[in-house]
Amino acid sequence: MGKEISMLSRRQFIKLSSISAVLPLLSLVKPISPASAAVMAKVPPDDPAGIALKYVEVAGAAVRTDKMGVPGSEQTCGNCRFYKDSEIPEWGGCALFQNRLVVKAGWCMGWIPAA
Ligand code: SF4
């Protein structure tokens, strides 16, 4: 009887030791949520939504008409309401493209001035 108790205690000790060794490591693991994965994806040149909205990575390559009092020549993703800076320089998430990355110097027909 005493031996069973000591075996059980030993097993529990080993189990608890391995769990307590792993727990601090779990705090280092950051899960990649579907939202952040989407934020990291760049809008490719052949993206259907990008084509529909005439998205270009160089704003000057697009015909931009004056909009809401802002000359077309001054419109870029960087001063668009839908643009949000990311950790990647010169790239930011665009709400119109499900927060996928667009070039700060780019442009599309969905442009509206930042608030
Ligand atoms: S909606 Fe704005 S930020 Fe998004 S691609 Fe068009 S111009 Fe760029």
Report pLDDT digits (tens) over 73-110.
999 999 999 999 999 999 999 999 999 999 999 999 99
- Residue 112 CA: which ligand 1 atom is closest? 2
- Please, are residues 100 and 94 in contact by the beta-carbon 8 Å criterion? yes
Tell me how far the alpha carbon of residue 18 lies from the centroid of ligand 1, in angstroms: 50
List the residue whose alpha carbon is closest to atom 6 of ligand 1.
108
Q: What distance in Å separates the CA atoms of residue 78 and residue 60, rounded to the nearest whole number?
A: 13
Report pLDDT digits (tens) over 19-56.
444 344 434 444 444 555 444 799 999 999 999 999 99
Ligand 1 pocket test: pick from 55, 64, 103 the residue with the most ligand atoms within 8 Å of its Cβ: 55
Q: What distance in Å separates the CA atoms of residue 39 and residue 85, rounded to the nearest whole number?
A: 11
What residue ranges do the domains of the chain occupy?
1-30, 32-115
* CATH of the domain spanning 32-115: 4.10.490.10
Q: What distance in Å separates the CA atoms of residue 106 and residue 59, rounded to the nearest whole number?
A: 4
